[in-house]
Structure 1
Amino acid sequence: MDNYLRDMALFVEVVKARGFRSAADAIGIPNSTLSRRITELEKSIGLRLLHRTTRKIELTEAGQIYFERCKRIVDEARLAHEQLGEMLAQPSGVLRASLPVDFAVTYLAPLIAEFSRLYPGITFDFDLTPRRVDLVSEPFDVAIRMGQPENSQLIARPLATLTPYLYASPGYLKLSGEPSVPAELEQRECFNIQPAGTWTLHDGRQTATAAVGGRFSLNSVGMLRRLATLDLGIILLPEEIVADELASGKLQRIMPQWHGTPQPVYVLTETRLLPAKTQRFIEFLRERLGR
């Protein structure tokens, strides 16, 4: 049935173009192939549809009746196909995403709320645990990650670049004083996700390093922020992560001329062939985050 409908559509194109060569050029198939298919169509229905000459084609009486019916059927089929395509293109279904906890809660949540209002047909299943989900073996559509992608087999699309700055609470600064150069950070309580580490800082002209550490070993950015608001030390994080604490005055930026190494934010997928729900989500985030 599909081949029969295809040949009916080819017949309609030949009649509308008033010739095989013009129709073949418009459709993008060889002229000989097109002529053979119309001949096969005539044989299959047992009717002569066209009078062929070296210069033009003309419809037979039966061909005229057949053309009118074919055109109606083909037009209806094309309309149904377009409507089906539009329906399938509408974002719907469950969007399963793995998101970095603090970045999602602080920065992505308002964007996700906006996206959900734009596409009411999508429901959401978010994993905000610190673990790195496996997009190949687990049923996730997309993952957002900070830092350079680790798995080269995944498709990575840049979303944004976040620059970390130094922050501390007014209470901590009152107790310990505000450092003015990177070297002074080594005498301060500094929070790292790792037990100890080196902060690389830039001021636009030079780069400096500071071996920092403290009494707390953390694997939670949220806990790190909370301890900083409780006057316990200095943190190095993107402004987007500490926006709420800055707005409330619980944290303030220090050593403003210095900043950490910018961190890329990527959206990862297993494949480039994405359903509409995932495509729209990625496009929306890239637009809002400025990439």
Structure 2
Amino acid sequence: MAQPSGTLRASLPVDFAVTYLAPLIAEFAELYPGINFEFDLTPRKVDLISEPSDVAIRMGEPENSQLIARKLASLTAFLYASPEYLERYGTPSVPSELEDHECVGMLKINSWTLHHGKETQTVNVSGRFALNNVGMIRRLATLHQGIMLMPKEVVADELATGSQVQVLPDWHGSPRAVYALTETRLIPAKVQRFIDFLRERLSHHD
């Protein structure tokens, strides 16, 4: 069977691509030396019809019903902070105590819904930093600025080095799906292989 070749154009979410997809993409590139890659790293919603992308990888439920969405995985967020932050401000023992902590979170999100078995708690969170960039949230948490809610796949490096430790380990956020979006069901072999490869690798982290 002929190896797929040509240029694969993909739109990727910035932080997820840099921190988590990059090693997988490198592995895929080794398997398929005939494929070249053009990546547009952007957090914004993609218009595959007017922009020349073969596939877009996005987190969260797709909003554009005209696109074909293939679910790749589901990522669950957990709470993390630096040991230095916890030493200075204490470690919360129940979710409600997060309201007394610096929580580094996304813009316009004022509460976190956490799950423990069948129990669910929604806590109001606030902090001095609210932003729209996952990489910057990770960086600020590493710089001891507060507690973050983040998929463990995104903070794997920080956990490995010990710059972040898990807080309230029995609790987790609501799972977020990762989708591959294409304009049509009829996609070139290179795109199909890429989607299949990511689904296989990401599913191990479900």
TM-score by length of 1: 0.68
| Pairwise CA distance, 1:290 | 2.1
- SS of residue paired to 1:244: helix
Q: How does 1:177-256 map to 2 (within 5 A)?
A: 177-256=90-169
Q: Which amino acid aligns with 1:181?
A: V
Counterpart position of 1:259: 172
User: What are structure 2's unaligned runs of at least 5 residues?
Assistant: none
Q: Which amino acid aligns with 2:95?
A: P
Q: Which 4+ runs in 1 deviate beyond 3 A?
A: none
Give distance in 1, aligned partners of 2:55 and 2:147. Answer: 33
Query: Which of 153, 158, 172 does residue 66 from structure 2 map onto?
Result: 153
Give distance in 1, aligned partners of 2:57 and 2:150. Answer: 17
Give distance in 1, aligned partners of 2:33 and 2:132. Answer: 35
Counterpart position of 1:162: 75
| Pairwise CA distance, 1:205 | 2.8
Counterpart position of 1:136: 49
Q: Which amino acid aligns with 1:248?
A: T
Q: Which amino acid aligns with 1:130?
A: P
Identity %: 69
- SS of residue paired to 1:175: helix
| Pairwise CA distance, 1:130 | 1.9
Structure richer in helix, relative to its length: 1
Instruction: Give me the CA root mean square deviation.
Output: 1.2
Give distance in 2, aligned partners of 1:229 and 1:241. Answer: 13
| Pairwise CA distance, 1:131 | 2.1
| Pairwise CA distance, 1:133 | 2.0
Give distance in 1, aligned partners of 2:109 and 2:193. Answer: 40
- SS of residue paired to 1:289: helix
Structure richer in strand, relative to its length: 2
Higher relative contact order, chain-length normalized (CA < 8 Å, sep 6+): 2
Give distance in 1, aligned partners of 2:148 and 2:194. Answer: 31
Give distance in 1, aligned partners of 2:201 and 2:82. Answer: 30
8 Å Cα contact 1:196-1:214 kept in structure 2: no
User: What are structure 1's unaligned runs of at least 5 residues?
Assistant: 1-85
User: Are positions 1:104 and 2:37 aligned together?
Assistant: no
| Pairwise CA distance, 1:233 | 0.3
Give distance in 2, aligned partners of 1:206 and 1:131. Answer: 33
1:112-150 deviation per Cα after TM superposition (whole angstroms, max 9, x unaligned): 111101111100001112222211111000011111111
Give distance in 2, aligned partners of 1:214 and 1:195. Answer: 12
- SS of residue paired to 1:143: strand
